[in-house]
Amino acid sequence: MKILTLATTMVLLAPAALPVGAFDLRPPESRVEFVVKDNRGGFTGETREVSGTVTVRERDGGYAADVEVKVDARTIRTGATLRDAQMRSPAFLNTTAFPFITFSGTVTVGGPAPPQFKGATRGRLSIKNVTRDVEVPIEITVEGNTYTARGEVVVKFTDFGLPIPRFLIFVAEDSILIRLQVRLRPKGPSS
């Protein structure tokens, strides 16, 4: 009986294995928000047109994942038609020439303790025709063979060559808070 109890305790205390392999992000299960503050309160833009692939693998006693994500900038909505049109214009995001905001990078985690743990995402964020290195701390939840990741990062309009939004008495701050929530499902044969 003691051996059974000891074996059960060891299994319960051992780090749980994470699902590995290729995973998809598919609309509309993921979401990205862009929060901009201004002198009158600010606004939020959001889209659920987020897609990409993530490949999770074991590495050095922990886990790592290669990440490729794209956000359809043409579908970001702020709740104001005039502001949405200005945001898509050549002066701002120029979504005709640059329809996607992209991220390419790596997520690393130490010995995770599912179902919830933290990770660090490092990579290259491209907005319009400018690419910058960013680091996004994320919280990851494992449910069966799927992942949900949440994180946020602050970037500046000016770092990406974008003008600071202004309209009449509204003047935005230079920072953009990007919040993301992505759901990863195992890559299927139809993907």
Q: Write out pLDDT tens, residues 176-190.
A: 999 999 999 999 764
Q: Write out pLDDT tens, residues 149-168.
A: 999 999 999 999 999 988 77
**In the predicted model, what is the mean pLDDT of residues 117-131?**
95
In the chain the domains, ranked by start, together with CATH numbers, are 33-186 (2.40.128.110)
Query: What's the CA gap between 173 and 168, in Å, rounded?
Result: 15
Say if residues 148 and 114 touch (Cβ distance below 8 Å).
no
Q: Write out pLDDT tens, residues 104-116.
A: 999 988 766 678 9
Task: Give the single-character DSSP code of 37.
Answer: E
Query: What's the CA gap between 163 and 161, in Å, rounded?
Result: 7
pTM: 0.86
Strand partners, 25: 52
Please give the pLDDT value at position 113: 66
